[in-house]
Every structure is written in C-alpha cells, then in structure tokens.
Amino acid sequence: MALTTQVTERDLHRLDRLIAEQETIFLSRQRRSAELASRANRSLAGGVTSSWQISRPQPIWISHGKGSRVFDADGNEYVDLHGGYGVMAAGHAHPKVVEAVSARAAKGTHFAQPTEDAIVVAENLAGRFGLPLWRFANSGTEATMDAVHLMRAATGRWKVVKVEGTYHGHHDSVQVSVYEPLEELGPPDHPWSAPASTGIPPEIVRLTIVVPFNDLPALERVFAEHDGEIAGLIVEPVMMNAGIIPPDPGYLEGTREITRRHGALLAYDEVKTGLTVGPGGATGLYGVTPDIVCLAKAMGGGLSGAAIGGTAEVMDCIVRRDYDQVGTFNGNPLLMAAARVVLTEILTDEAYQHIDALRDQMAAGIERVIGETGLPAHVVAMGAKGCVTFSPTPVRNYREFLAIDDRFSHCHWLYQMAGGVLLPPWGKTEQWMLSVQHRPEDVERFLGNFERFAGALRS
Ligand SMILES: Cc1ncc(COP(=O)(O)O)c(C=O)c1O
C-alpha cells in the first residue's frame, strides 16, 4: 500500500543512518581497493585518472569485465549498469568487438591516414542521423569543441547559447554553468554565465549565454538581446547529466525554428543519447534534425572516439579548409574497426528490441516498488538509459533537479553496490546503462536491491 510520496524529516534522518551503515559495508568489501587507492595517491593526482572516477567513500578499482558483469580488484562481481558512463552498449568483451580489434591490431593500429572502415562508419552514421558528412575525433569534449568552432566559423559570430546545468565536456566555451549551486546561478529568468571551473578566462565565459532547459521564451529573449551575435545553440536534446530530463513536447521543434529564424545553428550534443536512446539517438527519436550532431561514448564499443556530423552547408567549412578539423588520432584504425562492427553488427534493430524489453522490465519493477512503499520518486527511462529520480514530481530543468536531496541517490547507490550492482557514481546526476549482453536476471538483481533500499527507508 502506498504510504506518502512526500520527503519527510524521518526519511532524511533514516538516510543518514543507512548511508553510514552502507559505507561501512562498502569499505569492508573493498580492502584491496583501499590499498590501491592509497598507493595511487602517491603517483596519480587525486588518486584517480579522471576526477569523475572519484566516489565516496573511495574509488572502485576494476579488474575486468565480461558480458553484463564487471569484477573489482577485491574479486566482487557486479551487474554493470555503470557502462563506463554510458559507453558499453555492446557490453564487455563482446566477441565481435574483440575479434575486430584483435584483427586490426595484428595489421597495425595507427597510420594517421584513413582506412576503409572510416567510410563504412560515416555511411552508417549518415543513415542513422540524417546528416550527410562526418568527421572523427577522440572524445566527447573534442566533438563539442569542434561543434562550437564550426558554429562560429559558419556564421562569423562569436556567442553561443547553452542550457543551464548541462555538461558538454571540459573545453572553455562549454565550461559555463554546469553543476553550479543555486547561489551561483543568478535570477531564473536571466541566468548568469557562471564559470564551472577555475582556469577559464572570463572573456570566454562571457561569450557563452545561458538559458534554462525547456524554456522557449527564454531562448527567444536571448536571441533578441544579442541580436545578430549568436552563432548557435548547443543542447543535449534530452538532458542526461541531471538524471534524465526529457524535452517538453514542442521544445526541440521550437529550438529548431528559433535558431533558423535568427540565422544561427543548432548543435545536438548526443554524446550520451546517441546510439543509446535509439538507433538514431534523440535526433531519430524526436524527429528534429539539427545542423550538427556530436557523438562519442557508445560508438566505439569501449574504445575512445567521437564523431561530428553536419549538413553539407556547415561541413563545407571543413571541406573548404575554412575550419581545419584536425587531430593525429582522428579516425584511428582501431576505433574505426570497433565502431564498424558496433554499428553494423551489434547495435541492430533486434538489439534495440532486446534493450527496450529490459528497460520496460526495469521501469515496471521500479514503479511497482514505488507504488508499494510510497517512496518519493519516479522512474525516467528511454532506450538503454534510465534513472530513479528522487522527486515525486517530474523534473523539467536544472533548478528543479538541484532541489532533490543527494542523499537518496547516494544511499541507493550503496545498496546496489552491496547487492552486486554497479551503478555510476555521482548519484543523482547519472543514469543506468543497459547493454545488448544484459539479461532479465541482471534486471532482477537491480530490482531486488531497489526493493531492499526502499523497504529500509520506509519501514
Ligand atoms: C553530454 C556530454 N557531452 C560531452 C561529454 C564529454 O565527453 P568526454 O568525457 O568523452 O570528453 C560528456 C561526458 O560525460 C557528456 O555527458
């Protein structure tokens, strides 16, 4: 029977107690990892290889992965729903990826000259995303950096618009208003361009104008206020660094119309959504085609790489050498071999049907537990991605997301860890990631842990 869907003081006190209990359990299962963490502190800055790998109470050191599972340095086995921050749509050590990469490695891994696989990958992406011309890069950050450069090169304007609270990687133009606390965001109808990191010159920060997600009047207003100065809008069509926030009906169509009317470009950051929410990413799912699409993460089957697709008009800046899109490792043969097999043989229509069925099983199970316990939460899921949002009502933008108490997702994460499921750290900002190699029993393990967590919180 549903109890109540409001967050109570009792919930918060209980969360504090459960977190303390679960962190003790976590540490007792991670003794070898603790040794590695302490050794790492002497040679790796901050003890990890990227600050996104820090987790509380300590980073998780991985030994290996196979199929839907990963194993930590202590030998604990987990159903992997972290997916390396949304990369592992193919699952771990997929036989076709292993075969393609091994075959390529045996024939040489790098020439800084194109290989035929690059054409097959570009043709496949063109078919999926409805954009004719493609280039490759090495990370999502590079892809969105190229997108910003291209928007500026194609329009001859300097300013870009981004959405409050979105993460597009760590280059200067998009390191503005990312995970800022409320006091640094400015008025809701006129958000500030808040630098998201030190080391970003204010002159560059000022060129990035911030708007709330799902707010077309705000977008109209900034285009009016900066008339003729805005090169384009970069947007995640589904916000995926704030749990999952879908676009309101008509929002994406509105961004398309407004940017076009003002002679500006529209770039979709599909680093997370591309190839995971459906075969053609959010572009295919919502049927609104931007001028530029940025991909990375899931395209390489676990190898680092990225792609930028664009209209003939935009990509002509590259064709004419107006904008030099370059990089020693762009189109690296290993990545191209892996991406070819991922796109043409692994992420097939049947694979998406398999993932959709698991997603439905996941969402239905979570909804049942929420219904029975009255947990102040709801589930948002699309394609391989999903999350439990610890708010009784839907979240439409970053400020609403910010209001959610972080303790819910941290405690949930610890329960999943103790029960053999690895979710991404960074609690409420992240999502689960299913793969073609996950099975219904993997979902059942997640649901069992979720039920235990909800029961402990609401007993
Ligand atoms: C939406 C989005 N864009 C860009 C990036 C940057 O990608 P990368 O970490 O490969 O540089 C990320 C990384 O998480 C992301 O989530």
Q: Which residue has the tokens 């990312």?
A: 178
**Alpha-carbon span 358 to 50, nearest angstrom:** 31
Bridge-based pairing of strands 208-211 and 306-310 is unpaired
Predicted TM-score (pTM) of the model is 0.97
Q: Which of 175, 272, 295, 329 gets mutated to test ligand 1 (max ligand atoms within 8 A of its CB)?
A: 272
Compute the distance from residue 116 Cα to the ligand 1 centre, in Å.
Answer: 27
- Report the length, in residues, of the chain: 459
**In the chain, what are the domains?**
9-80+348-458 (3.90.1150.10), 95-346 (3.40.640.10)
Q: Residue 9's pLDDT is what? A: 86
CA atoms within 13 A on the CB side of 216: 13
Which mean pLDDT values do the consecutive 10-residue runs of the chain (459 residues) have?
Answer: 66 93 95 95 95 91 98 98 97 98 98 98 98 98 98 98 97 95 92 94 97 98 97 98 97 98 98 98 98 98 98 98 96 98 98 98 98 95 97 96 95 97 90 98 98 92
Both tokens of residue 33? Answer: 């990892």
Q: Residue 11's pLDDT is what? A: 85
Q: Residue 3's pLDDT is what? A: 45
Q: Residue 426's pLDDT is what? A: 74
The verdict on the CB of residue 162 being under 6 Å from ligand 1 is no
Q: Residue 2's pLDDT is what? A: 43
Q: Residue 1's pLDDT is what? A: 37
Active-site residue set: 167, 269, 297
* Nearest partner of 143 among 231, 247, 267, 264, judged by Cα: 267
Q: Residue 8's pLDDT is what? A: 84
